[in-house]
Structure 1
């Protein structure tokens, strides 16, 4: 995955949003953590992995992928808040031995740990656990990147339309 390119694109979007909404002097870390938690909840809802009481299938793969990249946007943005975009962030993605529900819980746990530490290592663990979730959901790097690029464009359009 082209993390440097994704960080640059996210930094440009973040700057655009912060300037448009006059947030340059605001510390947005806490709000971005909450936004990430909400986005991951929306992703889990689309997968329906935890809905043992329901027989309805998960949403279409494209819907789940779009929700997934919303999380990527906020993870990158949190990394930028901590200055990690100025260093080489490398993630080591291995297949998870967890099921999808357990992996969602691991991602939440990693967010909580990173929220408290703001540490590069914990950021990497968070990103890795999120990308392990992508593997469990059947997404490849190329699909994630393309969906990220597409959603990034949508996010700019939303800003122009006062979303």
Structure 2
């Protein structure tokens, strides 16, 4: 599970990326941009779910390779950390409730629900609830902290390169 120190590390990396995007694109972070980030987070969650394929009861096709699933998950991590930054969430005070979701389907619905509650309330408590629920996927898929940090760092570099190449 990600520790407070891991979350602080991700936050510091995300602050640099967010600032680079804001400066490069000359964006003013306001309510409209924050809503777009919440939508982007939900889209990335959906892309993760789509690659995992557990909900596709009608299909025999297996889940995508773990590397693809984790890359989609890391896109979610970028946005959820960025949203925490937007509300000045104190990651040092985050006490992970260690929600052990039983499966990706239940996790998916709970993450959507908590993301919409966060969008409505837009406060630290609703963010903490969303982050708790989101991080529970690490238990379901037995994702290690090292996997998250390593893939985040690789994707972070890609995101910087994308900004430099007109993405």
* Structure 1: unaligned runs, 5 residues or longer: none
> 2:18 maps to what in 1?
14
Q: CA RMSD in A?
A: 1.4
Structure 2 unaligned segments of length 5 or more: list them: none
Residues 75 and 127 in structure 1, CA contact (< 8 A), matched pair in contact too: yes
Q: Report the counterpart of residue 37 of structure 1 in structure 2.
A: 42
Q: 1:40 and 1:7 mapped to 2: Cα distance?
A: 19
CA contact (8 A) 1:14 1:77 kept: yes
Q: Which residue of 2 aligns with 1:72?
A: 77
Report if the CA contact (8 A) 2:101-2:140 is conserved: no
Whole-Å separation in 1 of the counterparts to 2:121 and 2:30: 20
TM-score (norm 1): 0.93
Out of 56, 73, 82, the position equivalent to 2:61 is: 56
Which residue matches 1:107? 111
4+ residue runs over 4 A deviation: none
2:131 alignment counterpart:
127
**Most deviating of 90-99 and 143-152:** 90-99
- 1:153 maps onto 2:157 in alignment: yes
